[in-house]
Every structure is written in structure tokens, then in C-alpha cells.
Chains A and B, each alone.
Chain A
Amino acid sequence: MAMLEVEDLNVRFYTEDGVVKATNDLSYRVEAGERFGVVGESGAGKSVTSLAVMGLVDEPGVIESGEIRFKGEDLLELDDEEMRRLRGNEIAMIFQDAETALNPAYTVGEQISEAIRHHLAPGEAAAEERSIEMLESVGIPDPATRYSNYPHEFSGGMQQRAVIAMALSCDPDLIIADEPTTALDVTIEAQILTLLEEIAEEFDTAIQLITHDLGVVAEFCDRMMVMYAGHPVEMAPVEDVYYDPQHPYTVGLMSSIPRIGDDRDRLDTIPGRMPDLIEMPPGCNFHPRCPYAEEVCTRREPPLVDTDTGQPADVADHDSQVAACLAHTGELTGRLDYEVTVRDDTHSRPVGSTGDGSPSE
């Protein structure tokens, strides 16, 4: 049994303009101790997915169908009270912007202590002691003094550490980190990621890391899911995705990252923009932007299949690479035509290619 199993999750937002389909039959699993990356453009449904797991989808959002099982228990069946007992306790969340996630009116220490008092119910003094320990464990110097500081007295990096301390304070089994390093500079980012890594290893905590930074995923995650318009287009162990991406969108994302030693004047971008989640294009949602799209792509929605066998994807099989592209069901006449080059240090070597050179107009 996986730590987290999301199955056919559909989240809808009922807005004045229409129904926004934030996630569409989204399924994925995260194992205990696994570091699972979720990437995609803004609006791909990454954050909604994490809020859904936390049970914090707010109006006008509604979880319309699906299951979210945590240690086998369907979270959507729980009442508010039972959900609150898990939240912050067994499932914790790290927010993107620590500066706004911290309440300016209370001391950092109080904001950590209150969760400890609420869930673990120790005395006032014991909660404070534990909070100071947490601050120390995330590398905040002089934690006993820092305990009674207000958020505005912390630097950005320290604020993010405090938010992480908060998430860790009740020894969660699953941490959902929503862009935990986006607001930070790269040095602090590296420190924070190392810290998260240490924690995940020490306590066997599962981490679902949401980001649009592919570099962070490569460094930190075991497995990843690429989301587009509310559903996964590719899911596989990180190495497989980087060395051998199987979906045109993933390829597009990869080629839009700048690399050291890059001699391109301009970065490649994926033309167009993500479809309107109210009126999604028929067939494959990505076809209007896909250089390999054929007529069939406008009609048939590609299922998520194992790219080796072409069989329907099995979310329980963690080693498989799955993608949602008709190229893998044999319905395209052309082939995906691209070459992937991964540079290791200064040596560059072609690693794999899925194209055979024939143009696929």
C-alpha cells in the first residue's frame, strides 16, 4: 500500500465564466520515503492537486469525483474534524512564499508551537521546547532567541526554514512542498533542498515536491509527473524522463531550460499557451501546440500508457515510464522526432533518441 494514492481525481471550479476543469482523472501514487516531483506550467493543476490532498480546496472549487487514499484511508470520506486531525500532523504542507505564509502578528515560535500543542497536546513549555528543537533542526542559529522573533525579523531564507520547521513539527509521514524554493536565491535553495533531503531520509517521510523548476526535480526527486491541463502527460523515474522523455510536452519543457555551456542565443519555448481549462481542445489537450500533431490527435484523447508495451498505465508500477501520447499507442503515422542530449560536465553525449529522422508533418 502506497503512502498516498490519488485515483481519478476531478477538481472543478464553478466560476462565472464556466466550469474550470482543474484536474482531469488525475491518478498517481507516492510511496513511503519517496520523493515525488510534480512539474508543469502555471495553471497545470499542480497546486490544486496539493490543496486537494490537504482537503483545502476552497470555494468555488469542488472535488467532484475520485479518491485520495492516505495509508489506505480515503480522505474524501473523512469529516472536517477527522481531516483536521491528519492535517499538519500526518500530512503537512510547505508553502511557496514563506513571507506571506507566516502570520505577521504572531511570533515564529508561537506559530510552530500552536500546531504542536494542537496535535500532540503537550504542555505549554514542552511545546516551546520542541519548537526550539525544530528551529534548530532546520539550521536556524540561536533558536531559543529566534523563537520569540516575529516573521519580519527573519530573512527570506530563514522564513522558509521556519515554514519547514512548522511542517516537520508533528513528524508527518507525507510532506507536500509547493514550490518551497521558488522565492529563494540559488544558494539558499540548495541548502533548503539538502535539508529536505536529510529529513526525508532520516524519517522516511514521503515528499511530494511541486515545482516548475526542472533543475530542482533532477536534483531532488526519485520519480516525477509532468502535468498538462490538469492531468499527467508523463510519469516515470526521474532519470528516464530526463534521458528519454516520451511526451512532446516534456521535450518542450526540457528544451526551454538554460544550461551551462549552452550556445543558443534564445531559449526554445513551447509555442502558444496552455488551453483554457473551461473549454479544452478536443482530443489531445496538447495538440494545438504540438509539432508532431496529426489529424487523429484532434479527435482522440490519448490514454496514459506504458511507453514500452503500449498497454494502459499501471500507477502501482513505479519503475514504468508512462505517457499520454498517441505515438505510444501506435495511432500516429509519423513518429516523435527529436534527439535528447544530456551534458555531463563538459562532455556531451547523445543518450537516446526516439526519432528516426522522418519529418512528421
Chain B
Amino acid sequence: MSLRRYVLKRLLITIPLLLGVTLATFAMVHFIPGDPIDFITLFTELDPETKQEIRARYGLDDPIYIQYLDWLADAARGDFGTSITTRQPVTKEIAERLPFTLMMGSMAFVIAIVTAIPAGIAAAYHRNTKVDQVSRVAALLGIAIPNFWLGLILILVFASWLDVFPVLPPTGEGLLSSEMIVYTLLPALAIGTGSTALLMRLMRSSMVEELDKDYVTMARAKGLPERTVVGKHVLRNSLISVVTVAAIQVAFIISGSVVVEIVFSYPGLGRLLVNRVRNHDFPVIQALVLIIGVAVIFANLLADVLYAYLDPRIRY
């Protein structure tokens, strides 16, 4: 099967998966205890008629599946309703913050990939030497240190003691201003460290395993330089398992951003989510959970495609 057909097939499988995510998101939010009316009316005592009126206005008196279908139809058009807390369109609120989280998340991901892969290769190629041992200790620390604690330490050291980073995010600066980009570095580092460590160890073990295979000796026996042997033959096979785990890291980075954004007062989706969960702001929570779910699905889709590109045996 060609790569294109594989991608098409994989895309088709994504459709029911996406529907499942919307259903789960919708159901989950509706299982949260408490009547949404109370949060809309801020727990004021109301007579049943007024309550019923509000219910009808928000469509909360419809059967649950109608509510779901309405919500799904609106969501498909990018309309997630109005926030209960701020009375703002949910889409607008999210659109304001999404770019920040995207920037931080991608930065964290890039940091992880750019350091983990070369470090993993170096550790595998020089296994059981100083390089390998140093990287092993570093990886152990990276995996063991919780990201919020690392965030606090980074603030303490770089923002407070060394004073090279601002403690609070710059206000009124655009997303791509240099101040904002510099400010994003520390939270990105805090989120990315765990993934870096994990991917590095995985890259190392995967590469050590590949280096022992016959095709490596074969490539050397052809007289190819080490650069080609490792960079072409071994790397591609070693990346296969790394790619899958890297995709799962996207989910970790998103969930990590929730806590780290609080630590850094970062104006992203994570902080928004925590705020709105406190206020039972259903429309916002639903939209955010859905966005996160979809992001994870697409990260996995991308991983599967990359996987098939790297390993021709997958493509059938």
C-alpha cells in the first residue's frame, strides 16, 4: 500500500474518533454535579418559573441528545456559545489565549526534540562512557523533577537571583514581541524538561538496540562513513519508536501547561481552564476539553503518518 493510501485510511479512522471525543467531552461536563442554573444565577434564590425560563433560554430543557446535537452543530461551525462567567463568546476568549499556549507548547516540544535526539544519539554511540553516564543522571533528574517545582526553581534562579528573566509576563505586549518570546522560554523549559529526559532515554535505548543489528555491520562493510551509517541507517530505524512516544508527549505538554501556566501567570489556555473549572463555566470547559482532545488525536495521527513514512513495513 502506498503511503498516500495509508494516510487516507488513517484519516478516515480519525472521524469516529473525533465524534467519540465530542461525545465524551459533552457527557463528562454534564456529569459534573451541580445545576448549571445556579452558576448562571450565582446561587440566587429563584422561583421555579424564572428558573424554567432561564433553562429554556440556554436550551437546558431540551432532551440531552438534542442538547448534544445542537452543541455539536454549533461547535462544528466554531461557535461554542457564550461564557457563563464573562458573557463573552467562548470562541473569542479561547482565540485570545490559544496562540500563547501554542507558542509555549511548541517551544517546549522543540526544546525536547532538539536536545533529546542528539543527546540520545551521543549517549548510545558512546555507551558506557562518561557521556552516557552524565546523560543518564541528567535524564533521571529530568524525569523525577515535577514541572511545577522546576518552574518555581527557574523563577527563583533566573528571574529572582540572576534577574535575567522577568518574573511576570509583559503586559500589553503582542504574542510575537521579543519580551513575550523571552518570557515564554522559562515555562517552556519547565514543561519540556520531562519530555526531553524521557525522549532522550528512549532515543538512547532504541539506538543501542539498532546499533547491534546486522544491517549496521553491513552498512560499514560497504565502506560507508560513520556519519552515513549512523545518520542514515541507524537513525531512521531508531526514530520509529521515538516518534510514537513524542506524539504522546504532546498530551503531556498540554496537561503540563495547565499547572505551569498557573506557576508563571502565563496568559494561556491552561490558566483559563483552571479558572473556569472553579466557576463551573460549562461552555468554556467543554470547548477547552474538546480542543485538547482534538489536539491529541491529531498529534497521534501525525505520529502514525510519520511512523509509516519511516518504516515501510507499517504501510499495509
Contact = CB atoms under 8 A, between A and B. Distances in A.
B32 interface: no
A85 B214 contact: no
A114 B224 contact: yes
Interface residues of B, number: 21
A189 to B, nearest CB: 19
A152 B222 contact: no
Interface string A116-159: 00110000000000000000000000000000001010000000
Interface in A14-57: 51, 54, 56
B220 A87 contact: yes
Given A95-B217, A97-B214, A104 B223 contact: no
B223 A119 contact: yes
Interface stretch (B190-198, B259-267, B305-313): B305-313
B218 A101 contact: yes
A327 interface: no
Interface string A265-286: 0000000000000000000000
Interface residues of A, number: 29
Interface string A83-120: 01111110011010100111111110000001100110
B313 A104 contact: yes
Q: Chain B at the A interface: mostly helix, strand, loop or mixed?
A: helix
Given A56-B217, A95-B217, A97-B214, A104 B311 contact: yes
A87 B221 contact: yes
A41 B179 CA distance: 70
Contact of A56 (B221, B228, B240): B221
A103 B217 contact: no
Nearest to B212: A58
A166 interface: yes
A114 B222 contact: yes
Contacts of A163: 218
A56 B214 CA distance: 12
Contact of A86 (B217, B223, B237, B240): B223
A118 B214 contact: no
B236 interface: yes
Quick one: which of B213, B222, B236, B240 has the most chain A CB within 10 A?
B222
Contact of B215 (A51, A85, A101): A101
Given A87-B220, A92-B221, A115-B222, A104 B214 contact: no
Given A88-B221, A97-B214, A114-B224, 13 more contacts: A54-B221, A56-B217, A87-B220, A88-B222, A103-B233, A103-B236, A104-B311, A104-B312, A106-B233, A114-B222, A115-B224, A118-B224, A150-B313
Interface of B: 213-215, 217-225, 228, 233, 236-237, 240, 310-313
4 closest pairs, A vs B, by CB? A88-B223, A88-B222, A87-B223, A100-B214
